[in-house]
Amino acid sequence: MKAAAFASFGGPEVMKVMEFPEPQAGPGQVRVRVKAAGVQHFDCAVRSGLSPASVTVRFPQIPGNEFAGIVDQVGEGVTGFGTGDEVLGFGILNCYAEYVVVSADQITRKPKTMSWAEAGGLSGNGQGAYAALKTIGVNKGDTILIHGAAGMLGSFAVQLAKEWGAGTVIGTASESNHDYLRSLGAIPVTYGEGLVERVRAIAPNGVDAAFDAAGGAEAVLASVELVRDRGRICTFVAPELIAEFGLANVRTERTATRLAELAELHAQGKLRMLIRQTFPLERADEAHRLIETRHGRGKIVLTLE
């Protein structure tokens, strides 16, 4: 099979299309013929050698941790799925490929109304936003601040916060993304100097919880100044500040049940996805360059014929 992989750590240029043996489904597993695979910052960290110690890299390594496709092989003991089923799912590695093998408890059915690109890019950011908001809590009427709200992680967080009863969702973004945030139900503010004052002008009674999906000390410091309970502040992009400020530590374990819930919200029109750009496997290096700019809105996805 063809896959986008790297044979050494480095920049986006190390990503190449390579030939690999087709994987086979073992007991409790399914093999999926991949139609789309989402691109995440985690993939870039793996490629550059900065992934967590719990992730084992073996060269040549196929990155990618979310996918959608068609089940074409079912291992012994698997029930509930059969060949031909359209699914979306997650792994840790190996999703930038024509075929991926995962445990049957890592997939859920793809709604008919969801495009392959949307399905391939839902799991990582969708489940990440879900876990973050569950950790900091979203109570009815809360005012929630989301930094980096125009990115896919932030966009999911905005929509889930509104779905779960937040009264006001404030999202930081560049001015070019303000109309987009308004369309999701957020009140946009420009990041940068004076952010705390701008947020206070919108929420004079205070901010109840904050999620940093943008990165950098600025977002965390602003959140600490605005939110009374630091246990209701979390960050995915500045882990070195969690212990320093006593912030919430998010457990981001993904589950098929949670993914199915997100897929159903999408099917109901309650969880929108903006596909920023798609690339074929042969241009995985370009996809990595684009996501590493940390600018722009929406999801970057690799698509396969």
Q: Tell me 298's DSSP state.
A: B
Whole-angstrom distance, CA of residue 205 vs CA of residue 96 = 46
Is residue 61's pLDDT more than 80?
yes
The CA distance from 102 to 79, in Å, is 14
In a domain, 37, yes or no: yes
Q: For residues 96 and 99, what is the distance between their CA atoms, to the nearest angstrom?
A: 8
In a domain, 295, yes or no: yes
Residue 9: inside a domain: yes
Calpha distance 104→35 (Å, rounded): 18
Instruction: Identify the CATH number of the domain in which residue 133 sits.
Output: 3.40.50.720
Which is it for strands 168-172 and 187-189: parallel, antiparallel or unpaired? Answer: parallel
Same domain, 132 and 113: no
Chain Cα centroid distance, residue 102: 19
Count of beta carbons in the 10 Å neighbourhood of residue 206? 11
Contacts of 13 (CB under 8 A, 6+ apart): 285
User: Does 287 lie in the same domain as 229?
Assistant: no
DSSP letter (8 states) at residue 29: E
pLDDT band at 15 (very low <50, low <70, confident <90, very high): very high
Mean pLDDT of the chain: 96
Rounded Cα gap, residues 169 and 295, in angstroms: 21
In percent, the amount of the chain with pLDDT more than 90 equals 93
In this structure, what DSSP letter does residue 250 have?
-
Q: Who's near 177: CB < 8 A, 6+ residues apart?
A: 149, 150, 188, 297
CB within 8 A of 79, min separation 6: which ones?
A: none
Contact yes or no for 226/199 (Cβ under 8 A): yes
Is the residue at 85 inside a domain?
yes
181 and 103: one domain? Answer: no
According to the model, what pLDDT value does residue 253 have? 87
CATH no. for residue 24? Answer: 3.90.180.10
Domain that holds residue 178: 125-245
pLDDT digits (tens, 9 = 90+) for 211-222: 999 877 899 999
The answer to whether residue 175 scores a pLDDT higher than 80 is yes
Same domain, 32 and 52: yes
Judge whether residue 279 has pLDDT over 90: yes
Chain segment 138-158, per-residue pLDDT in tens: 999 999 999 999 999 999 999
180-195 pLDDT, tens digit each: 999 999 999 999 999 9
Task: With cut-offs at 50, 70 and 90, classify the pLDDT of residue 229.
Answer: very high
Region 196-215: what's the mean pLDDT?
Answer: 95
Beta bridge partners of 31: 73, 101
DSSP secondary structure letter of residue 200: H
Asked if residue 255 is part of any domain, the answer here is no
At 104 the pLDDT is 98
Residue 126 has what pLDDT?
98
In degrees, rounded to 5, the angle at the alpha carbon of residue 237 between the alpha carbons of residues 236 and 242 is 70
Q: Which residue has the tokens 């320093």?
A: 244
Instruction: Identify the residue with better confidence: 78 or 214.
Output: 78
Choosing from 230, 245, 260, the residue where a domain stops is 245
- Give the CA angle between residues 194, 198, 186 to the nearest 5°: 130
Average of per-residue pLDDT across 290-298: 90
Residues 118 and 130 placed together within one structural domain of the fold: no
Over residues 236-254, the pLDDT tens digits come to: 888 889 999 999 999 878 9
Based on the fold, state whether residues 47 and 80 are members of the same structural domain: yes
- The confidence score (pLDDT) of residue 252 equals 79
* Number of domains comprising the chain: 2
For the four alpha carbons of 163, 275, 122 and 70, in that order, the dihedral sign comes to: positive
Bridge partners (DSSP) listed for residue 108? 88
pLDDT at 76: 98
DSSP state of 227: B
Whether residue 169 lies inside any domain: the answer is: yes
